[in-house]
């Protein structure tokens, strides 16, 4: 393992790769700062560009975009009171009041420092936890994997601010869509309507581009009246020593919270930032300052949302279960490159895994400097009119959808998914569970089939296996726990998220 850690670091010594990571960091910050775009959309749109690359640079670019875009949401949150990503919604609460008082630089400085520390802590946890988790999962048999995947899907219930039932329904729809094509167990075609293009199933990439990119274009058609005004920012001023002494505990606490939330399947940076912010307020000596320009508020939110990125990659790489919506798109990227996330990744492709970890570490350092000294420029990006931005995004979306298989069918799938995604969002169905269901659907069916063979078609024997039973119990708790908890205990303060 030590050799893999070193080899991963050495892989980053390639100047070409370093340049790519730097450019991707700039691109990620840009994506996070642009109105309507977020980490998930950015990664989905860039996925086709990475197809012709080697796996290490390709996945490093995607994870870099993920980390950088998550941070960049804070720039717009502080300067124009519009979170670039939903994970930065809580940063607005204190960042914008500070900016209005002429302390935008101090707020941005705190956001950059907290994000960097949170990001680095989470990558260290990722390096330690992912191989351990993979080792624990190494002896999983198909029933355990099936139960784990069911648990991962059950966690979709809490994504977004829609009802859990709608989220599970959306996820189940994704799983149903994943059954299109030739059945891997029996080689029989299903739902293909005689079209050869569908025999290998509905491709992930055009669906991702459709549900995250094109559906957002339709949402933006309703936001044309939104005006964005930038607060005038003086020179960047780093937080003072006093500021640090006030917030260091908050940063560490939120980093821990964010990493833990990120590790939970399907929960992402948005939930992490909300819990991080709430906990920062709860533990603060001056809770009355929250919402009026508290540095602790910014630190609590930003450390948590950036640490969730590293945490989210733990189950993604170790188990093949995405830890967040963006991690789901990265998982699709891994699959497109023929990589198999799971326990074997740390035995057969350990160098690759550690190269990705080191690149995530590096990007946290790069965006610290970009965040501090480039914030003024990136803040201007937010003022690009959406009348110009979104037609360009559409062109890249369509060409990206086409480029992977060079098939017009994928263009139709992207547009169809976009329109479907738009209507789902209108009626309160989050599109994230659908995307994750589509990615995990094939795995779920294969493992159920293998379990049935292994258990002589007696599915109930899965409940006699301790680990499977453990994951099924967790599933029941994930689905019904909040309701039961809510009945017996009064909820302190309801948390709402908007997904990612």
| Residues lying near another protein in the complex (CB under 8 A) | 49, 51-52, 163, 165-166, 168-169, 172-173, 175-176, 179, 183, 185-186, 188-191, 214, 217-218, 221-222, 224, 385-388, 390-392, 394-396, 398-399, 402-403, 406, 408, 411-412, 415, 418-419, 426-428, 445, 448-453, 457
CA-CA distance, 128 to 131, in Å (whole number)? Answer: 6
CB of 113 to another protein, least distance (A): 37
Q: Which is nearer to another protein, 29 or 214 (CB)?
A: 214
CB of 301 to another protein, least distance (A): 28
Q: Which is nearer to another protein, 152 or 256 (CB)?
A: 152
Q: Which is nearer to another protein, 91 or 215 (CB)?
A: 215
CB of 473 to another protein, least distance (A): 19
68, 71, 74, 80: CA torsion to nearest 10: 10
Q: Which is nearer to another protein, 169 or 263 (CB)?
A: 169
What secondary structure does DSSP assign to 14-49, as a single string? -HHHHHHHHHHHHHHHHHHHSTT--HHHHHHHHGGG
383 exposure class (CB count in 10 Å sphere: 0-12, 13-18, 19+):
exposed
Q: Which is nearer to another protein, 210 or 323 (CB)?
A: 210
CA distances (Å), origin 362, targets 13, 119, 123, 438: 12, 10, 10, 31
CA distances (Å), origin 235, targets 79, 111, 453, 472: 13, 15, 66, 54
Q: Strand (E) positions, 170-225?
A: 181-182, 189-190
Q: Would you give the DSSP letter of residue 463?
A: G
Q: For residues 206 and 410, is the Cβ–Cβ distance under 8 A? A: yes
222 exposure class (CB count in 10 Å sphere: 0-12, 13-18, 19+):
exposed
Q: Which is nearer to another protein, 347 or 446 (CB)?
A: 446
CB of 189 to another protein, least distance (A): 8
CB of 450 to another protein, least distance (A): 7
Helix axis angle, 142-154 to 431-454, nearest 10°? 160
What secondary structure does DSSP assign to 76-125, as a single string? HHHHHS--SSGGGHHHHHHHHHHHHTT-HHHHHHHHHHHHHHHHHHHHHH
CB of 116 to another protein, least distance (A): 33
CB of 144 to another protein, least distance (A): 16
Q: Which is nearer to another protein, 192 or 344 (CB)?
A: 192
Q: Which is nearer to another protein, 68 or 452 (CB)?
A: 452
CA distances (Å), origin 152, targets 39, 440, 474: 21, 9, 10
Q: Which two tokens stand for residue 281?
A: 């307020």
CB of 386 to another protein, least distance (A): 7
CB of 316 to another protein, least distance (A): 23
Q: Which is nearer to another protein, 172 or 495 (CB)?
A: 172
């Amino acid at each position: 393992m030590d050799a893999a850690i070193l080899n991963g670091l050495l892989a980053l010594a390639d100047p070409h790769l370093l340049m790519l990571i730097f450019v991707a960091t700039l691109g990620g910050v840009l994506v996070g700062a642009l109105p309507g775009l977020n980490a998930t959309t950015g990664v989905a749109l860039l996925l086709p560009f990475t197809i012709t690359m080697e796996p290490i640079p390709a996945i490093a670019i995607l994870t870099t975009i993920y980390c950088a875009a998550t941070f960049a949401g804070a720039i717009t949150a502080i300067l124009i009171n519009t979170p670039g990503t939903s994970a930065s919604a809580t940063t607005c609460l204190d960042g914008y009041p500070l900016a209005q008082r002429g302390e935008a630089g101090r707020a941005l400085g705190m956001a950059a420092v907290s994000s960097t520390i949170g990001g680095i802590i989470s990558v260290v946890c990722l390096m330690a936890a992912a191989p351990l988790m993979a080792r624990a999962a190494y002896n999983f048999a198909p029933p355990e994997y099936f139960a784990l995947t069911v648990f991962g899907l059950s966690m979709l219930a809490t994504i977004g601010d829609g009802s859990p039932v709608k989220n599970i329904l959306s996820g189940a729809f994704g799983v149903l869509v994943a059954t299109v094509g030739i059945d891997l167990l029996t080689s029989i075609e299903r739902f293909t309507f005689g079209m050869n293009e569908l025999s290998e199933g509905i491709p992930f990439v055009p669906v991702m581009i459709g549900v995250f990119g094109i559906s957002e274009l339709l949402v933006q058609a309703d936001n044309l009246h939104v005006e964005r005004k930038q607060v005038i920012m003086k020179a960047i001023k780093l937080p003072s020593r006093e500021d640090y002494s006030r917030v260091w505990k908050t940063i560490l606490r939120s980093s821990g919270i964010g990493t833990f939330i990120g590790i939970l399947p399907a929960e992402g940076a948005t939930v992490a930032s909300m819990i991080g912010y709430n906990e920062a307020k709860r533990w603060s000596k001056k809770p009355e300052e929250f919402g009026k320009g508290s540095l602790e508020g910014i630190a609590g939110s930003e450390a948590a949302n950036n640490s969730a990125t590293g945490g989210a990659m733990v189950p993604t790489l170790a188990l093949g279960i995405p830890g967040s919506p963006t991690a789901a798109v990265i998982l699709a990227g891994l699959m497109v490159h023929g990589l198999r996330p799971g326990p074997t990744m740390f035995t057969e492709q350990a160098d690759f895994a550690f190269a990705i970890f080191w690149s995530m570490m590096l990007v946290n350092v790069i965006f610290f400097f970009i965040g501090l000294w480039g914030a003024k420029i990136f803040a201007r990006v937010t003022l690009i009119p959406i009348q110009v931005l979104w037609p360009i995004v559409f062109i890249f979306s369509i060409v990206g959808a086409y480029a992977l298989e060079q098939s017009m069918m994928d263009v139709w799938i992207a547009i169809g998914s976009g329109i479907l995604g738009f209507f789902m969002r209108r009626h309160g169905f989050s599109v994230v569970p659908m995307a994750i269901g589509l990615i995990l659907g094939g795995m779920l069916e294969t493992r159920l089939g293998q379990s049935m063979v292994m258990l002589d078609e007696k599915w109930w024997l899965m409940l006699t296996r301790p680990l499977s039973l453990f994951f099924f119990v967790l599933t029941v708790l994930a689905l019904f726990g909040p309701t039961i908890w809510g009945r017996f205990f009064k909820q302190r303060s309801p948390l709402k998220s908007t997904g990612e």
